[in-house]
Amino acid sequence: MERCGAVVSSVLAVVLVLQLGLIRIMAQQEQQTGLAGKEVILSCKDTSHQRDSTCTWKYKYKEVSSTIISFSRSNIFKGKAPMTHRSELKSESKQLKVSDLRLDDAGIYTCACNSPAVSISLHVFKLTVSSNGHLLANEDLELTLMQNSSHSQPHLSIELFNISSKIVTTEILQNEAPQKYILKLKQLKATDSGTWMCHVYSNSPLINQNISFDVKVLGFGEERLEIMYTTVGDTVILSWHLNFRKIEWKEGFIGKLNWEPQGKAAIHELLDFNVTTRQELHKTKKSNHIWFEIPEKKTDSTIEVKIPKVQLNHSGRYQCQLEINSRRIWSMKALVVMQVSANPVGPLSRGGKMTLLCQVSGPLPSNAHLLWERVNGTEMEIKKSKQHEAKVEVNVSAPGLWNCHLMENNNTKISLNYTVEEAHVWNSYAVIGAIIGASVLVIGLACVCIITGMSWQRRRKRAKRIAQAKQYLLEKKTCQCQRRMYK
Ligand SMILES: *[C@@H]1O[C@H](CO)[C@@H](O)[C@H](O)[C@H]1NC(C)=O
Ligand SMILES: *[C@@H]1O[C@H](CO)[C@@H](O)[C@H](O)[C@H]1NC(C)=O
Ligand SMILES: *[C@@H]1O[C@H](CO)[C@@H](O)[C@H](O)[C@H]1NC(C)=O
Ligand SMILES: *[C@@H]1O[C@H](CO)[C@@H](O)[C@H](O)[C@H]1NC(C)=O
Ligand SMILES: *[C@@H]1O[C@H](CO)[C@@H](O)[C@H](O)[C@H]1NC(C)=O
Ligand SMILES: *[C@@H]1O[C@H](CO)[C@@H](O)[C@H](O)[C@H]1NC(C)=O
Ligand SMILES: *[C@@H]1O[C@H](CO)[C@@H](O)[C@H](O)[C@H]1NC(C)=O
Ligand SMILES: *[C@@H]1O[C@H](CO)[C@@H](O)[C@H](O)[C@H]1NC(C)=O
Ligand SMILES: *[C@@H]1O[C@H](CO)[C@@H](O)[C@H](O)[C@H]1NC(C)=O
């Protein structure tokens, strides 16, 4: 038992001595990290302060050592180390600048003047991004992180921060750790474009390094499938916004817009387009369909189709797709058109019936339905379409204003009105009109009669008076003649 204890304590002592030695070595050695592709500046800590001393920067990996550069106040000699041609001396400060750093540049760098050498252990990280960070929407991104140093490499903890500096959870493959880690970011969106950050951390040796990388996700601003509702006769504009200008995408690509009419298997190509490396968008109208227009715009990054006076047969699926190096993405808009009609058309006669039909061009999603509603009239009435039915009918026997709503999650998306007019209401007005008209006519006629009658009577009276006067005059003459004869 005692012997065992002695062995343990002597082992402990050896470990302690070893550790102390290590700490002494570490104290002389600084730790610095560098990133592949970037530059690193190493400082020469010359303690001698002799003006004319000759200093030498050396590189060592495992046991192999070589000179990078050797210099005095008047001379510079280049060595044969692998990074010599990428190294530069800042003669005033004696700093060594190594540019375009490589994973192989990891190792011990020493700067020795007359005094004992000061060494720096350079730890190099290299982050590679799949497709150079250029993706199409919904594609996955793969990141590979590698490290190299002259010591055994530490196990790293890695975190990713998105463009909003929020931690993003990823799957980290550690099968080649600690030299190599592979991270996967799944289904990136157009809005993920920007500068991301990879944070690398280790406790011993202490590493706390941020590595930034750029991501460009080419795509459409909106969701992959959108349903648009409209009513017959309206003008509708279908548009797809491409983000190539915003993310400064420099590669050229092509694309097209297809239309699949509702209920038909055919696919019509409406237009095709291309985007040049100088970010110019060219569109070409493909079909001889005259029912749609392509609005022209300056500094355009939108694929747009305008349909004036929409008809039921314009409904269907409009798919915009783009293609680059045989990789493809698409975004679709389903156009649903609503129409109301009556059978029979025209005003409703007293005691008659008519059927009001409200229909949409295609099947409705499960969260949507149609609803007939009497807005105006004697009593409130409502009729809802059955689940998955694209139409709803009501039988109407009284006049009033009807409204058909397309509801999605209890919200009205679109509505159309239909006014049922009453035939007999219209007739009675006509009758009243006719009666008033006739009365006026009769009164008018009567007046004319009376007036003509009165004037006729007056004329007759005057004639009678004249006749009487003539008679009187005649009688008077006869009388005078008789008197003259008697004289
Ligand atoms: C690390 O650097 C050394 C020295 O340049 C090199 O021999 C080795 O291949 C590098 N390791 C990796 C994984 O690149
Ligand atoms: C960044 O990540 C957070 C959390 O994962 C997420 O909510 C946010 O939408 C992301 N930001 C962008 C611009 O993608
Ligand atoms: C690294 O980047 C993250 C995200 O931007 C930031 O929160 C963190 O403070 C940075 N760490 C260092 C050491 O720069
Ligand atoms: C792009 O479209 C324009 C106009 O249709 C055409 O002249 C040009 O050749 C196209 N460019 C490419 C690379 O397809
Ligand atoms: C839609 O139908 C009308 C007739 O109702 C027809 O004139 C028109 O060409 C059709 N439009 C399409 C795109 O088929
Ligand atoms: C409307 O009336 C017609 C004919 O009278 C009938 O066939 C139909 O089922 C009725 N519809 C409704 C919704 O009551
Ligand atoms: C609807 O109601 C208003 C007032 O409540 C009335 O003036 C109008 O005539 C009504 N319209 C129909 C079609 O019933
Ligand atoms: C719609 O409204 C009805 C009654 O107001 C309610 O019972 C139902 O839960 C609502 N549905 C949704 C999806 O909000
Ligand atoms: C339908 O009629 C109602 C009530 O008169 C009115 O408020 C609404 O604006 C009309 N809607 C349409 C689409 O004409």
Domain edges within the chain: 27-124, 126-218, 225-336, 344-424
Q: What pTM value is reported for the model? A: 0.73
| Correct CATH for 126-218 of 1.20.1050.10, 2.60.40.10, 2.60.120.380, 2.40.10.480 | 2.60.40.10
Query: At 465, is the pLDDT very low, low, confident or very high (cuts 50, 70, 90)?
Result: confident
Cα(237) to ligand 5 centroid in Å equals 18
DSSP-based three-state secondary structure for 302: strand
Q: What are the structure tokens assigned to 271, written together?
A: 């237009």
Q: Tell me, using a 6 A CB cutoff, whether residue 75 lines ligand 8.
A: no
pLDDT at residue 456 is higher than 80: no
Residue with the bigger pLDDT between 389 and 22: it is: 389
User: What is the position in ligand 5's atom list of the atom closest to the CA of 314?
Assistant: 13
Distance CA 440, CA 278 (A): 82
Q: Tell me, using a 6 A CB cutoff, whether residue 212 lines ligand 3.
A: no
Q: What is the CA radius of gyration of the chain?
A: 50
DSSP tag of 379 = S
User: Is domain 27-124 given the CATH code 3.40.605.10 in the classification?
Assistant: no
Can you give the pLDDT at residue 454?
76
Q: What are the structure tokens assigned to 190, written together?
A: 């157009």
Distance CA 190, CA 256 (A): 19
132: CB partners within 8 A, 6+ apart: none
Domain 344-424, CATH homologous superfamily name and number: Immunoglobulins (2.60.40.10)
Domain 225-336, CATH homologous superfamily name and number: Immunoglobulins (2.60.40.10)
Atom 7 of ligand 4: nearest residue by CA position:
282
The CB density around residue 106, as the number of other CB atoms within 10 Å, is 25
Q: Tell me, using a 6 A CB cutoff, whether residue 410 lines ligand 8.
A: yes
What is the average pLDDT value for the chain, to the nearest integer? 85
Bridge partner list, 391: 359
Tens of pLDDT, residues 303-321: 999 999 999 999 999 999 9
Type of residue at 296: E
Can you give the pLDDT at residue 224?
74
pLDDT at residue 251 is higher than 70: yes
Can you give the pLDDT at residue 434?
66
Name the nearest CA neighbour of 370 among 379, 378, 397, 361. Answer: 361
Can you give the pLDDT at residue 5?
47
Q: What are the structure tokens assigned to 4, written together?
A: 């065992």
- Identical fold for domains 27-124 and 126-218, yes or no, is yes
User: What is the position in ligand 1's atom list of the atom closest to the CA of 62?
Assistant: 4
Ligand nearest, relative to CA of residue 217: 2
322 burial class (0-12, 13-18, 19+ CB within 10 angstroms)?
A: buried
- Which bin fits 248, alpha (ψ -120 to 50), beta or left (φ > 0)? left
Residue with the bigger pLDDT between 223 and 148: it is: 148
Can you give the pLDDT at residue 346?
82
Distance CA 379, CA 302 (A): 49
Mutate-to-test residue for ligand 3 from 157, 199, 202, 211, highest number of ligand atoms within 8 A of CB: 199
